[in-house]
């Protein structure tokens, strides 16, 4: 592999498209690498969901009681926010590939903004929970059943970890937007945006399951 | 540095914006359906339905937004392996919990 090769496509320079450093091959490797990372994230979140399901099966009444106080309206609003953000991210990638860089940049900004909206709503929700004495270690929780206490701890842990991922995704879209405006992310050079989008969609998928398990199912 | 790994043939893989917006509409509709069912108390009697709707939504996101429909065979095989590992993890753990 020659490091002296210019950055233009090796195929344009007469190189073989199946060469290890052909843009197509490198793109495929970078995408595959991102998927491998996403798979590790799936395993990580699977552990959390498994913990939830295992404890729920042992304490169904406690989990039902704990979930009764969930703010379904806020959780639902956040679901719609994340689904819209995911769509915006997907269209941003499609737009970049189609040469509509300006619109792609707008949608990247919209995705990041929706990420901030999600975090804001989640912060409001947590604030209300904490003021109501619903948080791990609260004095008010001491008198509740073991199942309720477990639900409370799992709720804050799972939504907290998910929230950190939303924060990371928001930051990544901010970085992608900056690169797009600088011309570094552009049609034919969109792997950073594509991989950021993949991460964002996984974060959305995790919430797709968190929402019914924590808010809807009794 | 060798190629950045970016290609000019993304159009071949790109889903149309229209189809992405259709998927978004379907996702919103499924979310609203889930919320309506909750409001009617349906999930107290059939909680599996909520998870089934969630799985449908996750499938749409994976297939269309994450483009798994157009990804290569090696990635799909890896995804199958991951699904098998997760299923085994869940199955064995819940079996253990049930027997305690």
Tell me what pLDDT residue B22 has.
96
Q: What is the DSSP string of A151-204?
A: HHHHHHHHHHHHHHHHHHHHHHHHHHHHHHHTTSSBTTB-HHHHHHHHHHHHHH
Q: Is it the case that residue A12 has pLDDT exceeding 90?
A: no
When pLDDT is averaged across residues A194-210 and rounded to a whole number, the result is 98
Percent of chain B residues past pLDDT 90, beyond the cut: 61
DSSP assignment letter at A16:
-
| Burial of residue A13 (number of CB atoms within 10 Å: 0-12, 13-18, 19+) | exposed
**A21, A24, A35 member nearest B7 (Cβ):** A24
pLDDT tens readout for residues A118-148: 999 999 999 999 999 999 999 999 999 999 9
Q: How far apart are CA A197 and CA A49, in angstroms?
A: 23
Q: Do A23 and B6 touch (CB under 8 A)?
A: yes
User: Given an 8 Å threshold on Cβ–Cβ distance, is A94 in contact with B89?
Assistant: no
Name the pLDDT band for A64 (thresholds 50, 70, 90): very high
Residue A152 banded pLDDT, cuts 50, 70, 90: very high
Which residues make beta-bridge pairs with A189?
A186
Quote the tokens at residue A57: 């099966």
Phi, psi of A189, deg, nearest 5: -140, 55
Question: What is the structure's pLDDT at A113?
Answer: 98
pLDDT digits 0-9 by tens, B30-85: 999 999 999 998 888 778 899 999 999 999 999 999 999 888 888 889 899 999 99
Provide the pLDDT confidence category of residue A11 given band limits of 50, 70 and 90: very low
To probe the interface with B, which of A40, A94, A209 has the most B CB atoms within 10 Å?
A94
Q: Which of residues 33-92 of B touch A (CB under 8 A)?
A: 34-35, 37-38, 43-44, 47, 50-51, 53-54, 57-58, 61-62, 64-66, 71-72, 74-75, 78-79, 82, 85-86, 89-90
Nearest chain B residue to A48 by CA distance is B90
Global ipTM: 0.87
d(CA A115, CA A9): 35
**How does DSSP assign chain B, residue by residue?**
----S--S-GGGTPPPHHHHHHHHHHHHHHHHHHHHHHHTTHHHH-HHHHHHHHHHHHHHIIIIIS-GGGS-HHHHHHHHHHHHHHHHHHHHHHHHHHH-
Q: With a CB-CB cutoff of 8 Å, which residues 87-106 of chain A face chain B?
A: 87, 89-91, 93-98
- Bridge partners of A186, per DSSP, are A189
Q: Measured between CB atoms, which of B13, B47, B65 is closest to A86?
A: B65
pLDDT for the residue A84: 98
pLDDT, residue A114, reads: 98
pLDDT for the residue numbered A17: 54
Confidence of residue A18 (pLDDT cuts 50, 70, 90): low
Phi then psi dihedrals of residue A186, to 5 deg? -155, 170
DSSP result, A103-161: HHHHHHHHHHHHHHHHHHHHHHHHHHHHHTT-STT-HHHHTS-HHHHHHHHHHHHHHHH
Residue carrying the six token digits 């799909």 = B76
Cα separation, A214 vs A162, in Å, equals: 13
Residue carrying structure tokens 């073991």 = A146
**Structure confidence at residue A210 as a pLDDT band (50, 70, 90):** very high
In this predicted structure, what is the pLDDT of residue B39?
Answer: 92
Name the percent of chain A lying above pLDDT 90. 85
Confidence of residue A16 (pLDDT cuts 50, 70, 90): low
Q: What angle do CA A66, A161, A157 make, to 5 degrees?
A: 30
- The Cα of B78 is separated from the nearest Cα of chain A by a number of Å equal to 9
Please tell me what DSSP assigns to residue A56.
Answer: H
Query: A9: pLDDT confidence band, cut at 50, 70 and 90?
Result: very low
- Residue A23 DSSP symbol: H
Give yes or no for a contact between A190 and A97, defined as CB atoms under 8 angstroms apart: yes
> pLDDT band at residue A35, thresholds of 50, 70 and 90?
very high
- B97 compared with A173, residue with greater pLDDT: A173
Q: Is residue A215 pLDDT above 90, yes or no? A: yes
Residues 68-87 of A with CB under 8 A from B: 72, 76, 79-80, 83-84, 86-87
Q: Which residues of B touch A189 (CB under 8 A)?
A: 4, 6
Q: How many CA atoms lie within 13 A of B61 on its CB side?
A: 31
Asked whether the predicted pLDDT for residue A218 surpasses 90, the reply is no
């Amino acid at each position: 592999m020659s490091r002296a090769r210019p950055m233009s496509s090796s195929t344009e320079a007469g190189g073989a498209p199946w060469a290890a450093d052909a843009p197509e091959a490198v793109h495929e490797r970078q995408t595959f690498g991102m998927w491998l990372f996403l798979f590790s994230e799936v395993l990580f979140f699977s552990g959390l969901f498994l913990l939830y399901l295992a404890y729920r099966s042992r304490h169904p009444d406690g989990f039902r009681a704990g979930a009764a106080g969930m703010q379904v309206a806020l959780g639902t609003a956040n679901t719609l926010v994340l689904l819209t953000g995911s769509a915006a991210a997907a269209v941003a990638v499609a737009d970049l590939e189609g040469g509509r860089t300006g619109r792609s940049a707008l949608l990247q900004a919209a995705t990041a903004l929706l990420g901030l909206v999600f975090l804001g709503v989640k912060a409001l929700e947590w604030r209300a929970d904490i003021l109501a004495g619903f948080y791990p270690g609260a004095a008010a929780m001491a008198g509740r059943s073991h199942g309720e206490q477990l639900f409370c701890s799992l709720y804050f842990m799972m939504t907290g970890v998910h929230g950190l991922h939303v924060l990371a995704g928001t930051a990544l879209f901010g970085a992608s937007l900056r690169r797009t405006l600088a011309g570094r992310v552009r049609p034919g050079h969109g792997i950073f945006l594509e991989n950021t989008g993949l991460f964002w969609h996984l974060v959305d998928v995790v919430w797709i399951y968190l929402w019914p398990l924590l808010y809807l199912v009794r | 540095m060798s190629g950045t790994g970016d290609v000019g043939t993304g159009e071949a893989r790109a889903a149309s914006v229209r189809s992405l917006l259709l998927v978004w509409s379907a996702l919103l509709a499924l979310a609203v359906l889930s919320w309506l069912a909750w409001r009617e108390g349906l999930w107290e009697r059939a909680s599996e339905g909520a998870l089934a709707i969630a799985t449908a939504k996750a499938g749409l996101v994976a297939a269309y937004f994450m483009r798994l429909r157009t990804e290569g065979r090696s990635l799909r095989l890896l995804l199958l392996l991951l699904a098998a590992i997760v299923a085994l993890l869940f199955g064995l753990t819940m079996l253990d919990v049930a027997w305690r």
